[in-house]
Structure 1
């Protein structure tokens, strides 16, 4: 799995920021959730995107409106309820293991 290192990097970053891991690579009928976390009573679905170059678009550009919708559906499916506080976030990794820049942001649905 070529992006495994990026996911490990993202997880370490989030744990350092006080997030708690609830699940990893969880499959749902709507797609896969890379990381399911919790922070301050809010469930956080984290999409990890890594690109070596921006030649074919940035990691953020790879997260389409359809992908956002599917992430939200996946979160509700995994949590079993629609009324729980959920936030979508992305950890974007620009580069490769030899040299990278990490970007962490909240995604707007």
Structure 2
């Protein structure tokens, strides 16, 4: 596996551990719909959070969350819409980003709730 794939996998596991510690239930990992992939779908009470995990080894080229494009946002919205309708869920939906800087077994996690409001 390429090192960037390993970093992404490690980041997703760190994000899952973080969310579980914060009281979220993990409903799905790597949920796919058409061309979209949602890294994590988690729920806390009546809030369904579609979470994009961005992991980088440094912030030299910018913060991890800065690498989410409008196209990616559109795909995520489509996938979550499908997920909620397909399962007939009665929840509020929120789009979050978990940004992780992971370097030599040290990491910093930032959870940006309602992250797409700022795009």
Return the TM-score normalized by structure 1.
0.88
2:103 aligned with 1:100, yes or no?
no
Distance change in 2, residues 1:59/1:79 (3 Å): same
Correspondence list, 1:73-88, <5 A = 73-80=78-85, 84-88=91-95
What residue is the counterpart of 2:75 in the other structure? 70
> Does the aligned pair in 2 maintain the 1:90–1:104 contact within 8 Å?
yes
Return the TM-score normalized by structure 2.
0.81
Question: Where in structure 1 are there 5+ consecutive unaligned residues?
Answer: none
**Whose helix fraction is larger, Structure 1's or Structure 2's?**
2
Count residues with an aligned counterpart. Answer: 109
Question: Where in structure 2 are there 5+ consecutive unaligned residues?
Answer: none
> Does the aligned pair in 2 maintain the 1:30–1:71 contact within 8 Å?
no
Q: Give CA deviations for 1:19-71 in whole Å, capped at 9, x if unaligned.
A: 11111111111410100111121111011000112233321111122222211
Task: Give the RMSD, CA atoms, in angstroms.
Answer: 1.9
